[in-house]
């Protein structure tokens, strides 16, 4: 008797009960193997799109991981519905793996096991993959066409969170009898008596000459809750303490405040997860459409907070704040020796180069409302002059790599190398573990009586994030199992001694050349504006050309540190 591993899949797009879908797929599969064997184990993906490759579906990926093991518990893989298992060229990418490990694949469409040497079987499965892809594309086209018509002709609210200033109101039973019988109802936007007046003030203030920052600061000073603070359930990832410039801009750019329904402002774009490994498939990202592609309702669909004339005037003022001329502005290119190497200690952000009064500076600008929102005591702008750093920095580098201090430098580099750790410290595995914890929390919330639709959305997002992390872990392969081996003292010495000539030319080098040398040294700087101290560390790289490694596996030593005061 043959031991079979059953594989099936159901997605949220199918509008089916997962248990019912599993039952009919498993029933169809068992009918195929009647008299040949029995199902010994099951792998069933719930809420996973068919377009995801097997490696990115949790259960399918687990099946592939079990294949190499002699104690896997099955001899063949059984599929009840190829449309749900294979999409596009997925059969061609998966079947060779089954064949390699001596596992046969059974499907109803060929009446039993697939013969890898049969052109007819290969053609049948390829056709089913193409049909599955075509079916999904047809569904997308039908759904988008229907939604476009509903938004334009009916002005129907098509879901999503209501804009700040509105709230949802019941609009009666769903026009689809089946959905109405299932308890689904339509919704419409109505003014929120608390936040609608705030939106009106924002538009009025902006036309009165106030800028984004001033509006945000004024609202924060008046203790008016920001959008994320007003709706904490949907914005748990934000502090919600203060208004931001971005929130004000988003409100001023939203045409739905005119009372018209506007759809298709964004679209879901499928982007290759890894251009060097097309088999990993795509990930979905939201991208903005051009304004010409937006779909407006033919007539007002909900109460307006501002009229169209006001909205148009605001958009005209926002456009005037941009470049005043179509001619490209020619700016002098100034070299910065520390470009991309200097961060601000208080906020952790990279400081940007700026040319003031004939000298190179580095600036960290942090609007006050952002500092309040992130609980950071940060000045509006922090400046640091380049020539206040370079002399001390070059002197420190020269002393650190001086032959007379070579022994101490080597000791510091050897001691600061990371100890070998297990894969549990790998950031990808930490992401997977975090996803597992969130999934457990979501399921607990579902069992406690939370909104099934809302929780299902959370679960799907978390599962997609977890699948992406699992795919990244698979690409990394053995490199994620342990940290790279520690460099020997002699290997570090070879690198450091070879830096001597580079250090000698730093002081006389031009800014552009300094930037290149600093980058090769692995230089990183951090400026603390409260103590006026710049902390420096370097991680010499073997890529400088001083150490050749054919098979990889060597990592640069940990940084050595020094400090320089600056006022």
Helices (H) and strands (E) in the chain, counts: 19, 18
532 vs 169: CA distance, rounded Å: 56
The predicted pLDDT at position 375 comes to 60
Q: What is the pLDDT of residues 135-149, one digit of tens each?
A: 888 888 888 888 889
Contacts (Cβ under 8 Å, ≥6 apart) of 104: 75, 76, 77, 98, 113, 114
Least confident residue range of 381-395, 405-419, 506-520: 405-419
The pLDDT of residue 529 is above 60: yes
**Confidence band for 174, pLDDT divided at 50, 70 and 90:** confident
Q: What is the pLDDT of residues 218-238, one digit of tens each?
A: 998 888 988 888 887 766 656
Average pLDDT, the chain: 79
The predicted pLDDT at position 158 comes to 85
Whether the Cβ atoms of residue 8 and residue 25 lie closer than 8 Å to each other:
yes
The predicted pLDDT at position 253 comes to 92
Helix 212-221 and helix 245-252, axial crossing angle in degrees, nearest 10: 110
The pLDDT of residue 9 is above 80: yes
Q: What does the pLDDT average to over 354-382?
A: 77
Q: Which token pair is 516?
A: 């290149």
Strand residues in 90-145 grouped as ranges (E): 104-107, 112-113
Whether the Cβ atoms of residue 118 and residue 44 lie closer than 8 Å to each other:
no
The predicted pLDDT at position 408 comes to 63
The predicted pLDDT at position 164 comes to 93
Length of the chain (residues):
567
**Confidence band for 488, pLDDT divided at 50, 70 and 90:** low
* Distances 330 to 323, 327, 337, 353 between C-alpha atoms, Å: 13, 9, 22, 17
Least confident residue range of 75-84, 438-447, 501-510, 547-556: 547-556
Q: What does the pLDDT average to over 77-99?
A: 90
The predicted pLDDT at position 545 comes to 32
The predicted pLDDT at position 511 comes to 77
pTM of the prediction?
A: 0.52
The predicted pLDDT at position 312 comes to 92
The predicted pLDDT at position 95 comes to 92
Q: Which token pair is 527?
A: 């400026």
The pLDDT of residue 106 is above 90: yes
Q: In what helix (H) or strand (E) does residue 182 lie, and over which residues does it extend?
A: none
The pLDDT of residue 156 is above 50: yes
Q: What is the pLDDT of residues 185-194, one digit of tens each?
A: 888 999 999 9
The predicted pLDDT at position 159 comes to 81
The pLDDT of residue 49 is above 50: yes
* Distances 567 to 44, 101, 363 between C-alpha atoms, Å: 64, 67, 14
The pLDDT of residue 413 is above 60: no
Pairwise pLDDT comparison (382 vs 566), residue with the higher score: 382
Least confident residue range of 161-165, 455-459, 556-560: 556-560
Q: What is the pLDDT of residues 276-335, one digit of tens each?
A: 777 777 778 888 888 888 899 999 999 999 999 999 999 999 888 654 444 445 556 778
Q: What does the pLDDT average to over 117-121?
A: 89
> Please, what's the largest Cα pairwise distance for the chain?
88
The predicted pLDDT at position 178 comes to 78
Q: What is the pLDDT of residues 438-484, one digit of tens each?
A: 777 777 776 666 666 666 767 777 777 777 777 666 656 534 344 44
Q: What is the pLDDT of residues 246-270, one digit of tens each?
A: 889 999 999 999 999 998 888 888 8
Q: What does the pLDDT average to over 379-400?
A: 84
The predicted pLDDT at position 284 comes to 80
């Amino acid at each position: 008797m043959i031991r079979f591993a059953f594989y099936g899949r159901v997605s949220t797009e199918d509008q089916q009960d997962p248990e019912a879908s599993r039952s009919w797929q498993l029933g169809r599969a068992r009918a195929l193997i009647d008299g040949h064997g029995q199902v010994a184990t099951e792998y069933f993906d719930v809420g996973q799109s068919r377009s995801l490759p097997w490696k990115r579906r949790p259960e399918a990926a687990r099946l592939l991981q079990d294949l190499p093991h002699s104690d896997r518990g099955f001899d063949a893989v059984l599929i009840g519905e190829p449309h749900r298992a294979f999409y596009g060229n997925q059969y061609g990418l998966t079947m060779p793996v089954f064949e390699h490990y001596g596992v046969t694949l059974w499907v109803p469409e060929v009446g039993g096991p697939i013969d890898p040497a049969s052109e007819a079987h290969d053609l049948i499965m390829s056709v089913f993959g193409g049909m599955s892809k075509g079916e999904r594309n047809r569904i997308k086209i039908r759904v988008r066409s229907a939604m476009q018509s509903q938004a334009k002709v009916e002005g129907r609210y098509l879901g999503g969170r209501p804009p700040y200033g509105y709230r949802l109101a019941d609009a009666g039973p769903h026009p689809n009898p089946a959905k109405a019988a299932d308890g689904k109802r339509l919704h419409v936007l109505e003014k929120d008596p608390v936040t609608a007046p705030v939106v009106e003030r924002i538009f009025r203030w902006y036309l009165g000459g106030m800028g984004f920052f001033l509006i945000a600061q004024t609202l924060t000073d008046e203790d008016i809750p920001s959008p994320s603070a007003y709706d904490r359930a949907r914005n748990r990832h934000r502090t919600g303490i203060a208004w931001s410039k971005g929130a004000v801009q988003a409100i001023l750019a939203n045409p739905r405040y005119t009372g018209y329904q506007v759809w298709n402002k964004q679209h879901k774009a499928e982007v290759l997860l890894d251009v060097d490994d097309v088999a990993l498939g795509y990930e979905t990202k939201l991208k903005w459409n051009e304004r010409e592609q937006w779909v407006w309702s033919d007539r007002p669909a909900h109460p307006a907070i501002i009229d169209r004339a006001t909205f148009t005037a605001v958009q005209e003022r926002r456009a005037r704040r941009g470049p005043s001329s179509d001619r490209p502005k020619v700016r002098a290119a100034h070299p910065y020796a520390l470009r991309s190497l200097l961060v601000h200690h208080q906020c952790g952000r990279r400081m940007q180069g700026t040319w003031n009064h004939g000298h190179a500076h580095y600036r960290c600008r942090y609007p006050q409302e952002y500092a309040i929102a992130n609980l950071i005591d940060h000045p509006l702008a922090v400046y640091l002059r380049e020539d206040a750093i370079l002399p001390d920095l070059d002197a420190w580098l020269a002393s650190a790599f001086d032959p007379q201090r070579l022994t101490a430098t080597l000791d510091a580099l050897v001691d600061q190398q990371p100890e070998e750790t297990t894969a549990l410290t790998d950031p990808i595995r930490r992401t997977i573990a975090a996803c597992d914890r969130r999934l457990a929390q979501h399921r607990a919330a579902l069992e406690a009586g939370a909104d099934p639709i809302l929780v299902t959305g959370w679960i799907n997002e978390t599962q997609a994030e977890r699948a992406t992390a699992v795919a990244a872990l698979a690409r990394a392969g053995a490199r994620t199992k342990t940290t790279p081996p520690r460099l020997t003292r002699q290997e570090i010495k070879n690198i450091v001694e070879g830096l001597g000539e580079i250090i000698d030319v730093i002081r006389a080098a031009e800014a552009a050349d300094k930037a290149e040398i600093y980058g090769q040294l692995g230089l990183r700087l951090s400026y603390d504006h409260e103590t006026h101290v710049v902390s420096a560390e370097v991680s010499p790289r073997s890529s400088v050309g001083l150490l050749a490694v054919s098979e990889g596996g060597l990592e640069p030593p940990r940084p050595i540190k020094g400090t320089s005061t600056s006022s």
